[in-house]
Amino acid sequence: MKTKWTIENIDDLTGKAAVVTGANSGIGYEMALALASKKAKVILACRNREKGEGALEQIKQKYPDAEIRLLPLDLSDLSLVRGFVKEFRQHYDRLDILINNAGIMAPPYGKTAEGFESQFGTNHLGHFTLTGLLLDLLIKTPRARVVTVSSLAHLFVKMDFDNLNAEKKYDPQVAYGYSKLANILFTYELQRRFKKAGVDTIASAVHPGWTATNLQDHWPVVRFLNKFLAQKPAMGALPALYAATSPEAEGGNYYGPGGWLELHGYPVKSTSGKASYNTGDAERLWELSEELTGVTYTFS
């Protein structure tokens, strides 16, 4: 990998379709902007239609010829995830890049439409559902990529399957860590299943380091420290863009910033926390996710 990989290293993406969840702001917007600049067909998958339309207009102002579309997606309601997939299929018959980026961080206790703890339900189960429902398009598209955005927060937890839904106790930061660890366990297990099925789709996990975004609105201390420690969203987006586009990126890897403590810098291959390599937890999480969402992955 080049020591200072940037969007300038991305090849022309003409004809390729890319979905970015949470593309209306922060690193998701920067991902969508970069992909549009390389002539991909970019789908902004956003919960807030008004903010999504604003992002679309900003990208169009910078790249008037960009092929870009807004499709509403609320990951906290699995019926709406199914609605997104149905609408996506009306417009596209391939999917080259799926970036599972959207998420919520450390909000007060809440539940999704199906009754799941909001962070686990949105950050993990929502993306598990989305990826599973788009799986056939990913598999039939040559060398497609699934990139799931995790966080350094996964380093401070290990899976507690007895409290994933916060029935016993709710700690906003711990619950966020569970959801981000689940993102990586899911990614590694997905890659193992891709490899076993003999398909050339690859799955990678990434983290953006310490990047200032509105994701931290519910975490006052982090929000305060942003002005001193955070990098800009355009830098935080680079690991996901690398995993989504670089010929050197490989499935089953974890990419993040290469600077001090992985808080800042250009993307490099990294090593996720010990708990993320627990294959028993990954298989258990997979089975639980299929049961909770009603989505069964078929790799044939």
List the catalytic residues: 176
Phi, psi for residue 51 in degrees, rounded to 5? -70, -35
- How far CA 129 is from CA of 79, 118, 189, 226, 256, in Å, comes to 10, 15, 15, 32, 25
Output the DSSP codes for 62-131.
H-TT-EEEEEE--TT-HHHHHHHHHHHHHH-S--SEEEE-----SPSS-B-TTS-BHHIIIIIIIHHHHH
DSSP 10: P
Secondary structure (DSSP) of 242-254:
HHHH-TT--TT-E
Strand, helix or coil at 27? helix
Give the chain's radius of gyration (CA, Å).
Answer: 17
Closest residue by Cα to residue 18 from 27, 9, 28: 28
d(CA 258, CA 190): 25
Residues 6+ apart with CB under 8 A from 232: 211, 212
Residue 87 CA to its chain's centroid (Å): 20
